[in-house]
Chain A
Amino acid sequence: MIEAVELTKNYGEVRAVERVSFTIPQGEVFGLLGPNGAGKTTTIKMLTTLSRPDSGRCTIDGFDVVKSAFDIKGRIGVVPQENNLDRELTAFENLLIYAMLHRVKDRNKEIKAALMMVDLWDRKDSEVTHFSGGMQRRLLLARALLPQPSILFLDELSIGLDPQIRRQMWDMIRKTKIQGRTVILTTHYIEEAENLCDRVGILSRGKLITLDTPANLKASVGEYIVEQIDQEGKLMQTICKSPEEARELAKNKEAGVTIRKSNLEDVFIKLTGERIE
């Protein structure tokens, strides 16, 4: 279980994360959603012992991230937002170094299994610098899963990936959930958060502004949106609680009206007045 209490982090005058609190039970896929600069990566860095909180505390399976960092490091796998593979080393060498750092037993067998999982076994002897962006993200995921961590942190895992590769990544995340792992992911892709997460916390300007299941969050703003482009080209949106209400509203408007289900971006816009992307 992960428990964060009033986590705060400042970079000089900038308050990157402000009094963020949440609890994540074992086996949950938990998403942190928000625009760039919302504090998602800083939160992940604090949870993964890379950054010390200025105040507040966080425990993972009862271990404090600052006082007992060593115990936590053996339980977590991290896919960082920025690719930190050694580009001049081969895929196999990258995983070998990581396996040794994390004291993985039966290294060759585990590395082979990890590379096969992400369909990179046939490229094991290629230098990472020759890999496409999608292959590098897959290798990062294989590396993070190599020590069989009980908690997996994915910081913008699918950023820059084409839709097909992104869906492959989602399948892998669902598989890790089935294996009983806790997954904490940050994303600014609405679809990703809705598809994968049991619960979603929305961050804005360093603050956690809401946290619930995707269904509850959407229901809280109204499940249907009636949209129309006005004469000045501006998108007009009206939130409705039921499909009947939405149809009734659309009937009274001119042509070019669409009705769609609400999504987490609508939640974000309602709460902050801003867009996520």
Chain B
Amino acid sequence: MIVAGWVPIFLREMLLFRRKLLRVGYLFSAMVTPIIYLIAFGLGLGNSVKMAGSDYLSYLIPGLVAMSSMNNSYTWVASGVNLNRLYFKTFQIFVQAPIHPSSILTGEVLAGMVKGLFASMLIIIVGLLTSSTFSLTGIFIATLILNCFLFANLGVITGMRTKSHEDTATYSNFFIMPMAFFCGTFFPVDRLPNFIKWIIYILPLTHTNVIMRKGSLDEEGLFSLGILAVYAVAFFIYGSRLIRKYSE
């Protein structure tokens, strides 16, 4: 049976992912950061802090899901593409295969989304067990999937552009970590000084947090969804272009 070009790339990642899942270390590393935040901020501060009219734990969990989906979708793809391209050279077999560059991107992105959704699912389970007000809605799940798609695409872009594996950490420190802390994961963006607020509103995770904390899509939610969609399309087009222009 002939399969679509992205299928073998996705399958390869899933075969590798399955092996990682069997190692306790992988599960632990996927969960450890958000769980630490959950314990330190949610359970530690949660009883004494109110945020946006609810207890802090309920406020925090959607933010941790957004952050975790971003981190895992982005990091695994960025480092995977970078290592496969520069060190293991397995990226060469994709480039030399008779498939379209967007198929390579699609396979990598879908695999990144699975990893992001898997890590998010672990936080969601913890959230459902610890918070009485946290619930899953259709718009929450749709935004989560879009967030994973967007950041997996950004991961491919980083993996394609960086000239060494160390560079991926630099990108992460400059773009991913600030987003994790300032884009509404731990506190509302309104509390930031005005001069940096507009920068934060440009960043995609801010809009993921906005939608994921809403039960329905109002005007602000629709605007944020539009922003996320623009980012997703732009990253996909740019990622495809980078793969199409790939030359060693």
A98 to B98, Cβ gap below 8 A? no
User: Is B223 interfacial (CB-CB < 8 Å)?
Assistant: no
- Report B7-34 residues with CB < 8 Å from chain A CB: 7-9, 11-12, 15-16, 19
Q: Which of B3, B89, B97, B99 contacts A80 (CB 8 A)?
A: B89
| Given contact pairs A51-B247, A97-B11, A102 touches B95 in the complex (Cβ within 8 A) | no
Determine whether the beta carbon of A100 is less than 8 Å from that of B95. no
CA distance A85 to B98 in the complex (A): 18
B residues in contact with A103, CB < 8 Å? 2-3, 98
Asked if B133 lies at the interface with its beta carbon under 8 angstroms from chain A, I say no
- How many inter-chain contacts with C-beta < 8 Å in the A-B complex? 71
How far is B96's CA from A51's CA once the two chains are assembled, in angstroms?
10
Distance in angstroms between the alpha carbons of A236 and B95 in the assembled complex:
49
Interface residue tally for chain A (C-beta within 8 Å): 29
From residue B149, how far is it (CB to closest CB) to chain A in Å?
23
What chain B residues lie within 8 Å of A112 (beta carbons)? Answer: none
Q: B4's closest neighbor in chain A, by CB?
A: A100
Counting CB contacts under 8 A, is B5 at the interface? Answer: yes
C-alpha spacing A89/B97, complex, angstroms: 19
Once A97-B8, A97-B12, A101-B99 are accepted as A-B contacts, the answer to whether A50 and B93 lie under 8 Å apart by CB is: no
Chain B residues, Cβ within 8 Å of A76 = 96
The reply to whether B96 and A48 contact each other, CB–CB distance below 8 Å, is yes
Cα(A38)–Cα(B164), bound, Å: 25
Please, how many angstroms separate the alpha-carbon atoms of A100 and B14 in the complex? Answer: 15
* Residue of B93, B96, B247 ringed by the most chain A CB atoms within 10 A: B96
The reply on B92 being an interface residue by CB < 8 A is yes
A98 to chain B: which residues have CB within 8 Å?
8, 93, 97
Query: Which of A48, A51, A74, A100 is packed against the most chain B CB atoms within 10 Å?
Result: A100
- Asked if A101 meets B247 with Cβ closer than 8 Å, knowing A73-B96, A88-B19, the reply is no
The 8 Å CB contact of B96, one of A50, A52, A93, A100, is A50
Q: Are A51 and B248 in contact (CB under 8 A)?
A: yes
Q: CB-defined interface of A73-88 with B at 8 Å, one 1/0 digit per residue?
A: 1101010101111111
- A105-B2 Cα distance, complex, nearest whole Å: 7
Cβ of B135 < 8 Å from any Cβ of A? no
Shortest CB–CB separation between residue B30 and chain A, in angstroms? 18
Which residues of chain A are near B9, meaning CB under 8 Å?
101
Partner of A45, one of B7, B94, B248: B248
Chain B residues with CB under 8 A of A49: 95-96
Contact residues in A for B2 (Cβ distance below 8 Å): 103, 105
B198 CB–A CB distance under 8 Å: no
Let me know if B181 is at the binding interface, CB within 8 A. Answer: no
Give the CA-CA distance A49 to B95 in the complex, in Å: 8
Is B88 an interface residue when CB atoms closer than 8 A count as contact?
yes
Residues of chain B lying within 8 A (CB to CB) of residue A101: 5, 8-9, 93-94, 97-99
A22 proximal to B (CB < 8 A): no
Please determine whether B98 and A89 come into contact, CB atoms closer than 8 angstroms. Answer: no
Partner of B15, one of A51, A83, A89: A89
Kindly provide the distance from the CB of A126 to the nearest chain B CB, expressed in whole angstroms. Answer: 14
Rounded to whole angstroms, the CA-CA distance of A76 and B95 in the bound complex is 12
CB of B4, distance to nearest CB on chain A (Å)? 10
CA distance A33 to B100 in the complex (A): 34
Which residue, of B2, B92, B93, has the highest number of chain A Cβ atoms within 10 A? B93
Inter-subunit contact A52/B8 (CB<8 Å): no
Give bound CA distance, A79 to B194, whole Å: 57
From A49, A83, A97, name the one whose CB has the most chain B CB atoms within 10 angstroms: A97
A100-B11 in contact (CB<8A): yes
In the complex, residue of chain A having the shortest beta-carbon distance to the beta carbon of B2: A103
